Copies of this chain bind each other. A is one copy, B any other.
Amino acid sequence: MSTSTQTADGSAQPSPGVTAPLGFRASGVTAGLKASGRPDLALVVNDGPLQVGAAVFTSNRVVGHPVTWSRQVVADGVVSAVVLNSGGANVCTGPEGFLDVHRTAETVADALGVSAGDVVVCSTGLIGERLPIDTLLAGVAPAAAALSGTGGPAAAQAIMTTDTVPKTADLTVEGDDGVWRVGAMAKGAGMLAPGLATMLCVITTDAVVDAALADAALRAATSQTFDRVDSDGCMSTSDTVTLLASGASGVAPDPAGFTAAVTAVAAQLARQLVADAEGATHDIAITVTGAQSQDAGLAVARAISRSNLFKAAVYGNDPNWGRVLASVGTVPVEVAAFDPDALDVSINGVMICRAGGAHEPRSKVDLAATREVHVLVDLHAGDEVVTLWTNDLTHAYVSENSEYST
């Protein structure tokens, strides 16, 4: 197959996002949930012919009411629409908060002529305060009226919180049986952590897939992409990634090809999330090679990505391999086998630590010159390779998270 991709970054045209595939309409409007007056309510509607849906959610045990609701919605593999709001997360808001979700789904269902039980609800914003529900509900009719086959970018705009840019991506696959597409949008600019970020994502496709394949492909894609982005180690209560399939292309791709396409689009969005993480000045790719398993490599990469000391050093353009080794050493032997005296560390291609000791001089690594920092750790304990993305720890991160309540 051949593929063509567009992203919001680096191309003249923004990606159409969720409306890139056939069979979808979307919109983004201002309901009035945000004091700023910016768009805060988005709709994505699947016009079929299929109404296949799947979703993965945060693994946090404290979850928002929208997550509780949406888990029920996707259980039967049928999703007609997704409604998403910024300006309030509807988490820890008591029984009234759950009723607010229910009313939101009912109102959207009425406006679209679908069943409330097929409407996924996603909310993002402050925890612990009820949504101004009347304001939200009043925005549903305008959002439904604004739905269009080119509404993807507007929807992506409406779900932003501390994001500085909207995030969209799409992919067109020209297979032997015909052309089909995957489109997507996401928000999330902090609290990116395993088991997903504080991140809302909607992925659409006009491929012909059943609920089982949609679910399997989505889980495979998120485990390789969003689950390998760890900005600040904090896990959100509201993360939701939904996949909708309309079947409008009439093409039924093979499962491996479909999974690869969904993964590719998710990877683009994950990379955009890292690039827009709160206050970051460096995007850090941590690659662990020579691991005895994917889990072992991921545990080592995760330990490095959680080191505030290392992340502060990168902010200071200091290729501090000692802090890398110190964090690698915290991984228990039963989780990852390695000999501490065999560890190699390269930063941006310069092997500054070899066999657990200093090698090339630090001065050969010029972190000030690059936004991307590539850390390569060789465990010499196997053949598996894992990459995890994170960011540096900066003054701007502290400012944003001490001055902005979530």
A327 to B126, CA, bound (A): 15
A91 to B307, CA, bound (A): 18
Contact indicator B331/A61 (Cβ below 8 Å): yes
Contact indicator A325/B92 (Cβ below 8 Å): yes
Contact indicator B234/A307 (Cβ below 8 Å): yes
Tell me the A63-91 residues at the B interface (CB within 8 Å).
Answer: 63, 91
A38 CB within 8 Å of chain B: no
Contact indicator B234/A309 (Cβ below 8 Å): yes
Q: Give which listed residue, B235, B307, B316, B358, contacts A326 with CB less than 8 A.
A: B235
A62 CB within 8 Å of chain B: yes
Contact indicator A128/B326 (Cβ below 8 Å): no
A2 CB within 8 Å of chain B: no
Contact indicator B398/A326 (Cβ below 8 Å): no
Q: How many copies does the complex hold?
A: 2
Q: Give which listed residue, B127, B128, B315, B340, contacts A62 with CB less than 8 A.
A: B340
Tell me the A118-171 residues at the B interface (CB within 8 Å).
Answer: 126-129
A123 to B121, CA, bound (A): 56
Give the size category of A's interface with B. Answer: 35 or more
A223-238 to B contact mask, C-beta < 8 Å, 1/0: 0000000001111110
Chain B: which residue is nearest A357 at the CB level?
B94
Chain B: which residue is nearest A237 at the CB level?
B326
Shortest C-beta distance, A181 to chain B (Å), equals: 35
User: Which residues of the partner chain B approach A402 to less than 8 Å between Cβ atoms?
Assistant: 312-313, 315-316, 318, 393
Tell me the A179-228 residues at the B interface (CB within 8 Å).
Answer: 190-191
Q: Give which listed residue, B59, B399, B401, contacts A309 with CB less than 8 A.
A: B401
Q: Give which listed residue, B128, B236, B340, contacts A353 with CB less than 8 A.
A: B128
Chain B: which residue is nearest A195 at the CB level?
B330
Contact indicator B329/A235 (Cβ below 8 Å): yes
User: Which residues of the partner chain B approach A333 to less than 8 Å between Cβ atoms?
Assistant: 61
Question: In terms of DSSP, what is the predominant structure of the interface of chain A?
Answer: loop
A394 CB within 8 Å of chain B: yes
Contact indicator A321/B234 (Cβ below 8 Å): no
Contact indicator B128/A92 (Cβ below 8 Å): no
A85 to B60, CA, bound (A): 44
A94 to B92, CA, bound (A): 53
A304-335 to B contact mask, C-beta < 8 Å, 1/0: 00111100110110101111011111110100
User: Which residues of the partner chain B approach A4 to less than 8 Å between Cβ atoms?
Assistant: none
A-B contact pairs, 14 of them (CB 8 A): A62-B328, A91-B322, A94-B358, A97-B357, A128-B321, A128-B357, A234-B307, A234-B309, A234-B327, A235-B329, A236-B326, A308-B397, A313-B405, A393-B402
Binding site for B on A (CB under 8 A): 59-63, 91-94, 97, 126-129, 190-191, 232-237, 306-309, 312-313, 315-316, 318, 320-323, 325-331, 333, 338, 340, 343, 353, 356-358, 393-395, 397-399, 401-403, 405-406
Closest 3 CB pairs of A and B: A127-B322, A62-B329, A316-B402
